[in-house]
Amino acid sequence: MCITPTTLHFLKDLKNLFERQTGRANWPQPLFSTFVITVLMNPLVVVYYVILCVYYVIICAYFYVYILCAYVYLTLCADVRFNFVCPLHTPSQKKYGHGNKSTKDKKGQIGVKGKKKITLKFMIGCKNPVEDGIMKTATFETFLNERIKMNGKTNQLAANGVKVEATKTKLVVTSEQPFFKLYLKYLTKKFLKRNSLQDWLRVVASAKDTYELRYFQINQEEEAESDNEEMTNGGNISFLCVIIDCNAYNWGNVVAEHGVSVLNEAIAALIALCNAHIFSSLGNRLLLLAEGVGRRDKKLFTNERMDTNDLTNFGPTMEGIIHQILAKNAVSTEPNPYNLSNSLSLSICAFQRFKKRFAASFGHIVFINLSREFSSEQNSLLNLFFASRQYSLHFHVASFHKTVPILQQASDITGGSYIHVINTKLLAHELLCHCVCGHQNGPSPFGRLALRDIDYRAKCHCHDQLLDIGWVCSVCLAITCNCVPFCKICNAVKEATMNEWQ
């Protein structure tokens, strides 16, 4: 039994009243009858007790009424709540709930005796795919009959439940089972994917309530048949990622050293490289990334979703974008972190996604370098360079500085070329001959610019000096030139004693 503070207060009042009436300080057990009589003879105590009982009765009544209302709500609204939580697939299922069609709808069009059945017709414009024999109507009709759901289950329609007829300019889908047009678009996409047609055809919304089947990046000329065969086999398809240093401070140093025309000549060389890569094969992929700028999206351009005919203005567009980025970066007051590892990891992921589609393809990464130091991300860059070598991704460097040890190591590890840019007028020639030409299974016909002397010495994180012998942290692999009891990079404490360190 739970005793509330109100009950304790009531008992204390009764005790005080008993002491005043009897003059006793104790509570004798034999005088219990006298206590009851005394309490009942006091009208204030009786009124207080009656009010307390009425209060408890009201609380109990409110509780029982609340339980009754909740039970009625759950009983009457269960069907509505089920339809809200578990939406059905077709309008008829939403209208009749669990499949019971005895309930009449408001308009009385479906489910009422004496009314005609509504037959739905959908038009899908697909003139060329049907004429070329790519879109087979019989297979599409069978697929719709198998996949359209009845009462939440597939394979419920008969063989002629949905009919597909091909006319000269469109497909006519006729169905006595009502369903949404958006559901038909969803099933059409599934059919294209199931029959490996998603790379050829697309379901395009030409109007608000009209869908069309269109070709996607297909050249129907006879001259392009050999290129399409190469795309299917992936024999001569390549991936190229160009990482451009768009830091205005670095470009200012290069312009001060080589002249004002160096910027336009370098951009022209990059545009020539990209155009040669794109138009050498229809399946080639191009990815341009900007490095050294304070922006989250480093992607400048990609031809993954573009047609070859849309690349006529590629040169002027890219030149304008690069000039615009440099102008914003020159007046920006925000810090511009230089993080080559992020751009390199993004290019490796893009190449892996491309290689899943074309297994025999090969890739190149061309980095236009204007910086001298990469010591802050040395460990991450080395890991990425070894990953590039494992994925057969060649890393080429066109540097305006003669010696950058980490980039020289990268080109040697991945089998790429290291170009020291002295004359920017020859940059396009060197990029085309030594960076892109060639095949994965054979060397470039122009040879590879391999360095004779490559400095594989690492730099310490404390003084940024080249070391022949150093100490490596077992936790973060940081290199130090002096022996210290703890790592200054990750603060890991070494287990050796001070005498051993000395």
Residue 13 and residue 42 in one domain: yes
Domain that residue 18 falls in: 5-72
Residue 387 and residue 243 in one domain: yes
Residue 247 and residue 334 in one domain: yes
Query: Any idea which of 25-29, 162-166, 269-273 has the lowest mean pLDDT?
Result: 25-29
Domain at 366, CATH number? 3.40.50.410
For residues 399 and 409, is the Cβ–Cβ distance under 8 A?
Answer: no
Q: How much is the pLDDT for 107?
A: 40
pLDDT tens per residue, range 305-314: 665 555 667 7
Residue 62 and residue 161 in one domain: no
Query: Is 90 exceeded by the pLDDT of residue 67?
Result: no
Mean pLDDT across 336-358: 85
In angstroms, the Cα distances linking 338 to 220, 223, 239, 246 are 45, 46, 24, 10
**Beta strand pairing status for 238-245 and 170-175?**
unpaired
Q: How much is the pLDDT for 322?
A: 85
For residues 402 and 427, is the Cβ–Cβ distance under 8 A?
Answer: no
Query: Any idea which of 24-33, 142-151, 329-338, 467-476 has the lowest mean pLDDT?
Result: 24-33
314 closest CA partner among 331, 328, 299, 300? 300
232: in domain: no
Residue 420 and residue 476 in one domain: no
Residue 37 and residue 129 in one domain: no
Residue 25 and residue 140 in one domain: no
CA 254 to chain centre: 37
Query: Any idea which of 84-93, 200-209, 292-301 has the lowest mean pLDDT?
Result: 84-93
Mean pLDDT across 209-221: 56
pLDDT tens per residue, range 477-497: 788 888 888 887 788 887 654
**Cα 490 to Cα 373: distance, rounded to the nearest angstrom:** 21
Find the helix or strand (DSSP H, E) in which 201 lies: strand 201-207
Q: What is the 3-state secondary structure (H, E, C) of 116-148?
A: CCCCEEEEEECHHHHHCCCCCHHHHHHHHHHHC
Count the neighbouring beta carbons within 10 Å of the beta carbon of residue 130: 20
Last residue of a domain, one of 185, 215, 245: 215
**Cα 449 to Cα 401: distance, rounded to the nearest angstrom:** 16
Percent pLDDT > 70 in the chain is 59
Residue 200 and residue 274 in one domain: no
390: in domain: yes
Q: How much is the pLDDT for 134?
A: 67
Mean pLDDT across 324-350: 81
3-class secondary structure, 491: coil
Residue 137 and residue 55 in one domain: no
Q: How much is the pLDDT for 312?
A: 64
Residue 387 and residue 252 in one domain: yes
94: in domain: no
For residues 111 and 101, is the Cβ–Cβ distance under 8 A?
Answer: yes
Q: How much is the pLDDT for 85?
A: 39
pTM assigned to the model: 0.50
DSSP 426: G
Q: How much is the pLDDT for 165?
A: 74
Q: How much is the pLDDT for 80?
A: 43
Query: Is 60 exceeded by the pLDDT of residue 219?
Result: no
190: in domain: yes
46: in domain: yes
Query: Is 80 exceeded by the pLDDT of residue 250?
Result: yes
Q: How much is the pLDDT for 109?
A: 40
97: in domain: no
93: in domain: no
Residue type, 343: S
Domain at 193, CATH number? 3.30.1360.210
Q: How much is the pLDDT for 222?
A: 37
Q: How much is the pLDDT for 223?
A: 37
- The count of structural domains within the chain is 4
Confidence category of residue 243, pLDDT binned at 50, 70, 90: very high
Last residue of a domain, one of 49, 72, 95: 72
Query: Is 70 exceeded by the pLDDT of residue 454?
Result: yes
Q: How much is the pLDDT for 95?
A: 45
pLDDT tens per residue, range 68-120: 887 777 766 544 443 433 343 444 444 444 444 444 444 444 444 444 555 56
Mean pLDDT across 173-184: 71
Residue 279 and residue 308 in one domain: yes
91: in domain: no
pLDDT averaged over every residue in the chain: 71
Residue 126 and residue 269 in one domain: no
Q: What is the longest distance spanned by two Cα atoms in the chain?
A: 123
pLDDT tens per residue, range 378-419: 778 888 999 999 888 999 999 998 788 888 888 888 888 888
